[in-house]
Amino acid sequence: MTESSGTNLFKRILRRIVGKPAVTPSAYWNAKYETEAFIYTKTANRFIVEFCEPLTPGAAIDLAGGEGRNTVWLAEHGWNVENVDISPVGLQKCTQFAAERGVTERVRVLCASGADFKSNLAPADLGIVPYLQVDYALLAQSLKNLVSQLKPGGTLVGVWHARENLGVGFGGPQDPAVLPSVESMTQICAALPLQVEVCELRDGQVQTKDGLKPSITLVLKATVR
């Protein structure tokens, strides 16, 4: 046996014992975004538009903003926005998208986790959290951290694929652990200085290869006390 075939055999045995190296969430999202196309389109989420359009522009934090469709929409509507996300590839696309739309001056990005980021725009007037699909503990910690960086009287808006989507709806993660429900979101908000105005399920439709299919979305709008 040569030295290199011995090394390879050792590596193969080690991999079998230890298992494949785990993909970190950041690496997972980087790989997903590593394409010219915008995975989540360049169109702002309709619930973000519904809840944010009536607000007076100020400073906003887009937590888990990814490629920046909502960040850029807010900037186009006069907000100064920080997109906080764990994926440098997504944030790079956001920066390019902001330049393409001529809103570079109102967009900044921060590569950090929801659990412990410190926004450069804090205390902000608005925090949005569109589709941060993580487990209960991480979601609760991320919302706590986000709310702590909003002004009293500021607004929190969240959108998630709902747990109720499993079984009856289409799209989104299929792991119930990362799908909040009205009950789990109510529980998270009850521990925070929030006046909840909307925490409910909305019906929607997603495009699939077999045409439009129903989907169920959880939406949240709350005011910081």
- By the criterion CB under 6 A, which residues form the site for ligand SAM? 25, 29, 40, 45, 64-66, 69-70, 85-87, 90, 113-114, 130-132, 134, 138
Structure tokens at 112: 């950090």
CB of 78 to ligand SAM, least distance (A): 20
Q: Measured from the CB atom, is 114 or 169 closer to ligand SAM?
A: 114
Residue 173 CB neighbour total at 10 angstroms: 15
**What is the sign of the dihedral through the CA atoms of 33, 37, 42 and 44?**
negative
Residue 6 amino acid letter: G
CB of 39 to ligand SAM, least distance (A): 8
Q: Measured from the CB atom, is 178 or 225 closer to ligand SAM?
A: 178
Cα gap 2→8, rounded to integer Å: 10
Q: Measured from the CB atom, is 65 or 169 closer to ligand SAM?
A: 65
SS3 state of residue 33: helix
Residue corresponding to tokens 């390879």: 8
Q: Measured from the CB atom, is 175 or 225 closer to ligand SAM?
A: 175
CB of 210 to ligand SAM, least distance (A): 22
Residue with nearest beta carbon to ligand SAM: 66
Q: Measured from the CB atom, is 64 or 147 closer to ligand SAM?
A: 64
Cα gap 215→165, rounded to integer Å: 6
Are residues 101 and 76 in contact, defined by beta-carbon separation less than 8 angstroms? yes
Residue 97 amino acid letter: F
CB of 139 to ligand SAM, least distance (A): 9
- Cα distances (angstroms) measured from residue 46 to each of 10, 50, 119, 187, 206: 53, 6, 25, 25, 13
Q: Measured from the CB atom, is 106 or 161 closer to ligand SAM?
A: 161
CB of 137 to ligand SAM, least distance (A): 11
CB of 153 to ligand SAM, least distance (A): 24
